[in-house]
């Protein structure tokens, strides 16, 4: 069973529906015990970094996420669910993240012709092999909506990059963690392929 972590932010039903489409059982839950017992865990999210962290702490889910990752269960972070894995974000002041991946989250600094947020379809460029990306071709298009991006301290965790006025990290992988800035649940067939690969880990 896959647990989709509900901390009061984001359209979690769209993630659940995407898993249902590929025949994977996924439940949306804010129950820390249920998250802990799941075989795999997905942390989606939209909204402001500080509010996301506040809700994760309020629901008692922050320590659960750390425990799940320590237990080496397959873990997928999507959009804000990737960003909160890092040490801190500069969104609306400095906010501490979960501190699982060393690094920070910064706002795009781009030439005027590039709109912020970065919104719409863009290509990903593979930097390393990973089972979640096994059936995804180089330069495949995925759907993005974000104004901030991650800057890992260790470049070895970078799974893909994307170009939008500059190169930025669009997904990371470390041990049992795979996390992406783009939205696989909104990325049609390729996104479903990715989710199926995760479900089959």
Q: Report pLDDT digits (tens) over 39-97.
A: 999 999 888 999 999 999 999 999 999 999 999 999 999 999 999 999 999 998 999 99
- pLDDT recorded at residue 187: 97
79 is an active site residue: yes
Q: Report pLDDT digits (tens) over 111-148.
A: 999 999 999 999 999 999 999 999 999 999 999 999 99
125 is an active site residue: no
Q: Report pLDDT digits (tens) over 133-189.
A: 999 999 999 999 999 999 999 999 999 999 999 999 999 999 999 999 999 999 999
pLDDT exceeds cutoff 80 at 194: yes
DSSP string, the chain: -EEEE-SS-S-HHHHHHHHHHTT--EEEE--HHHHHH-SEEEE---S-HHHHHHHHHHTT-HHHHHHHHHTT--EEEETHHHHTTEEEE-TTS-EE---SEEEEEEE----TTS-SSEEEEEE-EE-S--GGGTTPPTT-EEEEEESEEEEES-GGGEEEEEESSSEEEEEEEETTEEEESS-GGGSHHHHHHHHHHHHT-
Class of domain 2-199: alpha beta
What is the residue extent of each domain of the chain?
2-199
Catalytic member of 52, 79, 95, 180: 79
180 is an active site residue: no
Catalytic member of 52, 91, 180, 185: 185
């Amino acid at each position: 069973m896959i647990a989709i972590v509900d901390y009061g932010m984001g359209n979690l039903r769209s993630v659940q529906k995407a898993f249902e489409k590929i025949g994977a059982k996924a439940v949306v839950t804010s129950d820390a015990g249920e998250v802990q017992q799941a075989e795999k865990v997905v942390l989606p999210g939209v909204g402001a970094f500080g509010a996301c962290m506040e809700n994760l702490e309020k629901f008692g889910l922050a320590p659960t996420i750390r425990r799940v990752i320590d237990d080496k269960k397959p873990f997928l972070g999507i959009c804000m669910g990737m960003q909160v894995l890092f040490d801190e974000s500069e969104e609306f002041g400095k906010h501490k993240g979960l501190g699982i991946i060393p690094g920070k989250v910064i706002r795009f600094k781009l030439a005027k012709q590039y709109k912020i947020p970065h919104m719409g379809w863009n290509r990903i460029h593979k930097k390393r092999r990973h089972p979640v990306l096994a059936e995804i071709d180089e330069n495949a298009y995925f759907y993005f909506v974000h104004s901030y991006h991650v800057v890992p301290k260790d470049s070895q965790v970078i799974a893909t990059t994307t170009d939008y006025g500059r190169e930025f990290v669009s997904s990371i992988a470390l041990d049992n963690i795979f996390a992406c800035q783009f939205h696989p649940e909104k990325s049609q067939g390729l996104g479903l392929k990715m989710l199926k690969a995760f479900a089959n880990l």
